[in-house]
Amino acid sequence: MANYGHFDDAHREFVISRPDTPLPWLNYLGQDEFFGLCTQTAGGYSFWKDAKLRRITRYRYNNNPMDNDGRFLYVKQGNSIWNPGWKPTRTKLDAFECRHGLGYSRITGKKDGIEVEQLMFVPPQENLEIWKVSVRNKTKKPQKLSLFSFVEFCSFEALNDMTNYQRTYSIGEVEIEDSAIYHKTEYRERRNHYALFGCTRKIDGYDTSRDAFVGVHNGLHDPKAVLAGKCTNSHAYGWNPVGAHQINLTLKPGQEETFAFVLAYIDQGDLPKFDAPFVMNKVKGREILKKYSDPAAVEAAFTAVKARWEELLSTYQAPSVPNEHLQRMVNTWNQVQCMATFNLSRSASGYETGIGRGMGYRDSNQDILGFVHLLPERARQRILDIASTQLSDGTCFHQYQPLTKKGNADIGGDFNDDPLWLVLSTCAYIRETGDVTILDEVCGYADKPGSKDSLLHHIETSIAYTLNNRGPHNLPLIGHADWNDCLNLNCFSKEPNESFQTTGDVKGSKAESVMIAGLFLYAARDLVGLYKFMGQAADATRVQGYYDDMLKTVEEQAWDGAWYTRAFDADSNPVGSKSCKEGKIYIESQAWCVLGGAGQTNGRAKKALQAVDKYLYTPEHGCALQYPPYSTYHLELGEVSSYPPGYKENAGVFSHNNTWIHIGWTMFGEGDKALEYYLSICPSAKKDHDKYRSEPYVYAQMTASQFSPTPGEGKNSWLTGTGAWSFVVASQSILGVQPDFTGLRIDPCVPKKWKGFSVTRKFRGVTYSITVKNPKGKSKGVKSLVVDGKKIAGNVIPLPTDGRTAVKVEVTLGA
């Protein structure tokens, strides 16, 4: 088994020790509005806010695993050319290391006694990235070399950039001033922004024409200018503008030279656009380069990135968990993934092009569950943005663009689970903050411009939507699909060029979803809790009535004998039932019926989980989505039957839904099972990286299942709802620190052999230092809760009323 690297937990880094990882292993730079994707070989691209509408550097498609564009440094020393990140030249290095850290990546390559370190990060609240570069002569002789930088610019609108060459090859414009290369395509017309790629040190040459730097028939692995050891000072007119600098260095033995490159997105704001015809006003660009020409400013910016992450992560830290994988995921990497999914939803990764899906309605609502503790203010705004893409009848735009915040008309709505997720995100926000004022915030409906409805109105509209759209079994109608985008029961598509997600008439349709029924139970129970917290007893009772009614329907209509049916198709035939030839049992309806509280009094919930264990689970890979996979395409089921067996929604291990089962086990006090299941999909616990292939530090959306020819192969890393839900599992369900309306609830569910652990949790301005002891070897049940020396009844820590900001909590399990 090849070894590609290891976790450096003390520094919160993953250290990649060889560049040829089984797939590109990605990291994200940036946490506010400027983002960069950065792989272990410096591949990737950057954008401001929206990977489609404000793309700064180009990334040529279809690029996984090729990963062909990026933030490249070339070294020319004698006759050899190489990159510290190995690619694109792939010249063999004497040493290589890439440290992916929190919001930064540090790549170090060494060859023939020269070491080049490239540290890439985005300073907090700034719209730029810095590459701090150190070149070291590790030999005992003076060394001469040339260093070249390289990025390829994107003409900002990424889809146009990759498709509309008849225009884009004629619009490229740049300006050069000293070491600053300004990319100003379309600036003369409607854009009020431009990109800057500059160096903080004097340069010895530059190029802005790709043809001049790379060569018409060369590639990035053998760029003409680097081979020649000389940039041509080219000026790009149209075609493909690039940014390349040349720096000639003579280093004494042991000498190091440090400087920086800055890649910035600059909005001109109210400043005059031009100094003279065709000469842009570069005041802002100059200021930026001046600022970072001071090495202390670069250091301070990097220190700020680290400090910011430490501060964010200090909200939840569990320093002494008896399992190393859970510990590092919950403390570091899982929270990092939650930040990425919150910021980017499903828009830009190695698998999401940044030009397709923007923010997903259901996705972003779920992402909040794992993010809200980090930056509740930003979660608040996001919830309001999402709600504003709902229509007044309750349907929702399935996706929206982050820049415009407008619903995406191409995909439209009618994914009938969408509205309910808003209830979950809103309740999670209020549990975290206690801030019920969010409910009064005005966020009108997308189809009623200027409407003044409140968030609470949206919540009620969402609940009403499910109640009012039910089918022959009185179960919720599914629409185009529910959480499982591929369960397209109204689609009936025979044309390969149709979209499964939008084809089919859902008006007057009859197909129903048991998963939505379970989700409704969960959402309604959440809302009952919220109304009680607000002292609105009558509303609580009203919504409890909806809950009871739906529960009755689920138990009467959806129990298949040993598990919950998944759905009823357009002809009211069951899907996910023992009567089906394939696809007899699905995971989502077991999960959501259990999570929603079904099967609690009649033993069905436990049976449903046991059925998952029996038919879907393997300890190596986790739970497949259903069983048996579909071997043929089913017109009446849609995309779920389109995938080859064992991949994606056709019985692949879809990590996201596994997490709901993990919560299910903890509801039954099955702490050993919960951890075993947790580890089955945990990236840090994957041993054979040649088989798993994906990053060991973040969840992948999918792992090929036991039913596939390539079991255990991970795919679609980073942007998956698994991020948020795994954090919920680890932090709340297993370690048991649960924000609730009236205070922190403590309810761990752990393996019996765990002797104890501790958690520090900042919650509503108070730092709770929680120690859990498990002297009797139990999994669940709080026997005693001692808060600042006083024994408390129940397991909710009351909020301090005397201004205390630090509270000590001692928990003993074993009730």
649 near ligand BGC (CB under 6 A): yes
State the binding partner of 360 from ligand NOJ, ligand BGC, none, CB within 5 to 8 A by kind. ligand NOJ
Task: Convert residues 9-48 into a mask of x (bound to ligand BGC by CB under 6 A) and - (unbound).
Answer: ----------------------------------------
Phi, psi of 706 (to 5 degrees): -60, -15
313 burial via Cβ count (<10 Å: 0-12, 13-18, 19+): middle
- Of residues 490 through 509, those in contact with ligand BGC by CB under 6 A are 501
Q: Phi and psi dihedrals of 48, rounded to 5?
A: -110, 120
Interface residues with ligand NOJ (CB under 6 A) are 346, 360, 362-363, 483-486, 649
Instruction: In angstroms, give the least distance from the CB of 654 to ligand BGC.
Output: 8
The answer to whether residue 489 forms part of the interface with ligand BGC (CB under 6 A) is: no
Comparing CB distances to ligand NOJ, the nearer of 330 and 478 is 478
740 contacts which partner out of ligand NOJ, ligand BGC, none, CB within 5 to 8 A by kind?
A: none
Q: 3-class DSSP state for residue 272? A: coil
Rule CB under 6 A: say whether 656 interacts with ligand BGC: no
Task: Decide which of ligand NOJ, ligand BGC, none touches 501; Cβ closer than 5 to 8 Å per partner kind.
Answer: ligand BGC
Indicate the residue among 265 and 483 with the shorter CB distance to ligand NOJ. Answer: 483
Alpha-carbon dihedral sign for residues 798, 664, 658, 515: negative
Kindly report the backbone phi and psi dihedral angles of residue 549, in degrees, each rounded to the nearest multiple of 5, phi listed first. -65, -45
For 13, phi then psi, to 5°, come to: -130, 155
Indicate the Cα dihedral angle 284, 48, 237, 201, nearest 10°: 50
Q: Least distance from C-beta 483 to ligand NOJ, angstroms?
A: 4
- Residue 648 binds to ligand BGC (criterion: CB under 6 A): yes
Strand order in the sheet with 714-717: 653-654, 700-703, 714-717
At CA 794, angle to CA 789 and CA 799, rounded to 5?
60
Nearer to ligand BGC, 214 or 567 (CB): 567
Could you tell which of ligand BGC, ligand NOJ, none binds residue 724, using a CB distance below 5 to 8 A set by kind? none
C-alpha–C-alpha distance, residues 205 and 59, integer Å: 25
Strands 626-627 vs 653-654: parallel, antiparallel or unpaired: unpaired
Query: In the complex with ligand BGC, which residue's Cβ is closer, 115 or 485?
Result: 485
Nearer to ligand BGC, 360 or 736 (CB): 360
Residue ranges with strand state E in 94-127: 95-100, 104-111, 114-121
119 contacts 131 by C-beta, under 8 angstroms: yes
- Binding-site partner at residue 483 among ligand BGC, ligand NOJ, none, CB < 5 to 8 Å by type: ligand NOJ
Among 436, 382, 315, CA closest to 744: 315
**Mask for 322-361, x = binds ligand BGC (CB under 6 A):** -----------------------------------x----
Q: Which does 461 bind (CB under 5 to 8 A by kind): ligand BGC, ligand NOJ, none?
A: none
Q: Which is nearer to ligand BGC, 357 or 604 (CB)?
A: 357
Using rule CB under 6 A, residue 588 touches ligand BGC: no
**Amino acid identity for residue 695 in this structure:** E
State the catalytic residue, choosing from 485, 526, 560, 747. Answer: 485
State yes or no: residue 417 binds ligand BGC (CB under 6 A).
Answer: no
**Whether 222 is catalytic:** no
Q: What span, in angstroms and rounded, lies between the C-alpha atoms of 250 and 230?
A: 16
**Contact call for residue 653 and ligand BGC (CB under 6 A):** no
Which residues, 6+ apart, have CB-to-CB distance to 747 below 8 Å? 736, 738, 780, 782, 795
Residue 69 contact among ligand BGC, ligand NOJ, none, beta carbon within 5 to 8 Å by kind:
none
| Closest distance of CB 429 from ligand BGC, Å | 25
Q: State which residue, 50 or 649, has the beta carbon closest to ligand BGC.
A: 649
Does 485 bind ligand BGC (CB under 6 A)? Our answer is: yes
Asked whether the beta carbons of 73 and 149 are under 8 A apart, the reply is: yes
Nearer to ligand BGC, 212 or 411 (CB): 411
Residue 264 in contact with residue 128, Cβ under 8 Å?
A: yes
Q: Is 486 in the site for ligand BGC (CB under 6 A)?
A: yes
363 binds, among ligand NOJ, ligand BGC, none (CB under 5 to 8 A by kind): ligand NOJ
Q: Which is nearer to ligand NOJ, 414 or 649 (CB)?
A: 649
Site residues for ligand BGC, window 628-647 (CB under 6 A)?
Answer: 639
Task: Give buried/exposed letters for 79-101 (b at 16+ CB in 10 A, else e).
Answer: eebbbbbbbbbebebeebbbbbb
Tokens of residue 129, six digits: 């990235």
Q: For ligand NOJ, which residue has the nearest CB?
A: 485
Nearest approach in angstroms of CB 568 to ligand BGC is 22
Collapse the DSSP code of 591 into the 3-class scheme (helix H, G, I; strand E, B; otherwise coil) and give the result: helix
> Taking CB within 5 to 8 Å according to partner kind, which of ligand BGC, ligand NOJ, none is near residue 223?
none
Nearer of residues 57 and 589 to ligand NOJ, judged by Cβ: 589
175 binds, among ligand NOJ, ligand BGC, none (CB under 5 to 8 A by kind): none
Give the β-pairing of 193-199 and 256-267: antiparallel
Minimum distance of ligand NOJ from residue 484's CB (angstroms): 5
- Cβ-contact 514, 564 below 8 angstroms: yes
- Residue 194, sorted as left (phi over 0), alpha (psi -120 to 50) or beta, turns out to be beta
In the chain, the largest separation of any two C-alpha atoms, in whole Å, equals 84
- Which residues are marked as active site? 485
Residue ranges that bind ligand BGC, judged by CB under 6 A: 357, 485-486, 501, 639, 648-649
